[in-house]
Every structure is written in structure tokens, then in C-alpha cells.
Amino acid sequence: MIRRLDLPATVLRPAFFMQNDLRQKPALDHGLYGNPVGHRGMAYVDTRDIAALAASELLRREASAVPLACHDVVGPDNLTAESITATWSAALGRTIAYGGDDLDAFEAQMARHVPAGFAYDLRLMFRGFQEHGSPASVADVAVLTDLLGHAPRSYADFVRDTVRGWESGS
């Protein structure tokens, strides 16, 4: 509809948020990474990069009339279950295992904490990640780097900063 009406808008299409992994702390404390992300690759994005791009686009649009723009907002790394657990293992100084790709078990676990419909939606999202991934291309990262004026934040930096925060109690 936005395209059909030729609205002067900016559409941000963010990848999976790095900050979603903050909820993994209880599982990580037990040596486990629980999101069933699969092995195809996902370009997790830091929410601060999304916010920075949104603010920049709002200011750009306020300054002048610009046509429709759509931006894939991605991180610089295509992460898999193996690379995610390796990153957490390195940052925590102990082995973190992958909880696996069992979507039935994931949905049942989630349904204990969120409404069943939301647990089902999460299952479908992770099934898509397992089947197709959500990778970023080199071009996607280059465009975002140009728009931000700096490289998107890496998952390794996010994990290191998160662990430092947990250790300092913040």
C-alpha cells in the first residue's frame, strides 16, 4: 500500500534483535543457549543500530522531501547455532551448548511463559530461521554501514558487553 500510494516513507526491516538474547541468561547460567536458531545463518541486529537509523531517517525526512526508502537493518555477522554458542562460550569462559532445533519442545517451554498464540508465532518464526535463515549480504551490510556512518555492531561485541554488565551487576 505504501508503494502503491507512493507515500514518502522510510521502511526499516530489522533482523532478529541481539537484545532478545538477554532473556537467555537463565539458560546460559546452566550452560545452554535455548533459541532454536538453526544452522542457516541469521544477521542479528543491535537495537541501538535500529534506533540510530530511525532517528537519522526522521531527521533526513524533516530536512527535505525524499522518496520512499526501504532498508534492511542487519548485523555484520551471519550467525548460526554453532557461532552463537562459540561466542557465548568465549565470553563466559565455559562451554555453552545449543539447546537444539526441536520446535515442539521450544513452543511448549515458551507457552509456560507467554500466551499460547505468541508461543506458536515464535515457533513459526524460528522454523523460518531454521529452514531459510535470515542472512545479510555483503551489500546489505555496506548499505547499512553507509547509512549509519559506522559499521553495525557485531554480535561478539554485544555478547562481551552483556557479560561485562552481568558481572558488574548492571
Kindly report, residue by residue over 108-163, the tens digit of the pLDDT. 999 999 999 999 999 999 999 999 999 999 999 999 999 999 999 999 999 999 99
Task: Please give the pLDDT value at position 68.
Answer: 82
Give pLDDT, residue 170. 73
**Is pLDDT at 7 greater than 80 in this prediction?**
no
Q: Look up residue 113 and give its three cell numbers.
A: 511463559
Helix (H, G, I), strand (E, B) or coil at 131: helix
| 164: pLDDT strictly greater than 90 | yes
Residue 148 Cα distances to 18, 43, 121, 138, angstroms: 17, 16, 31, 15
CB 120 within 8 A of CB 107: yes
Q: Over range 85-109, report the average pLDDT.
A: 97
Average pLDDT estimate for 90-112: 97
pLDDT of 93 over the 80 cut:
yes
Environment class of 166 (CB within 10 Å of its CB; exposed 0-12, middle 13-18, buried 19+): middle
Specify the pLDDT at position 104.
Answer: 97
Cβ contact 28:96 at 8 Å: yes
pLDDT of amino acid 8: 79
pLDDT above 70 coverage of the chain, percent: 100
Read off the pTM: 0.90
